[in-house]
Amino acid sequence: MANMDVNEFREFGKAAIDWVADYLENVRDREVLPSVEPGYLHEMIPSEIPEQGDHWKSIMEDFKRCILPGITHWQSPNFHAFYPSQTSYSSIVGETLAAGLGVVGFSWVGLKS
What's the burial of 30, exposed, middle or buried (CB within 10 Å: 0-12/13-18/19+)? middle
**What pLDDT was estimated at residue 1?**
45
Q: pLDDT > 70: what percent of the chain?
A: 96
**Confidence (pLDDT) at 103:** 84
Return the closest-CA partner of residue 87 out of 100, 99, 101, 77: 77
CB within 8 Å of 11: residues ≥ 6 apart: 56
Look at 3 and 36; give whichever has higher pLDDT.
Answer: 36
Q: What are the structural domain ranges in the chain?
A: 6-101
6-101 has which CATH code? 1.20.1340.10
Q: Which of 30, 28, 18, 9 is nearest to 92 (CA)?
A: 18
- What pTM, to 2 d.p., does this model score? 0.84
Element (H, E) at 6: helix 6-26
Tell me if 30 sits within 8 A of 69, measured CB to CB.
Answer: no
* pLDDT digit string, tens, across residues 12-60: 999 999 999 999 999 999 999 999 999 999 999 889 988 888 899 999 9
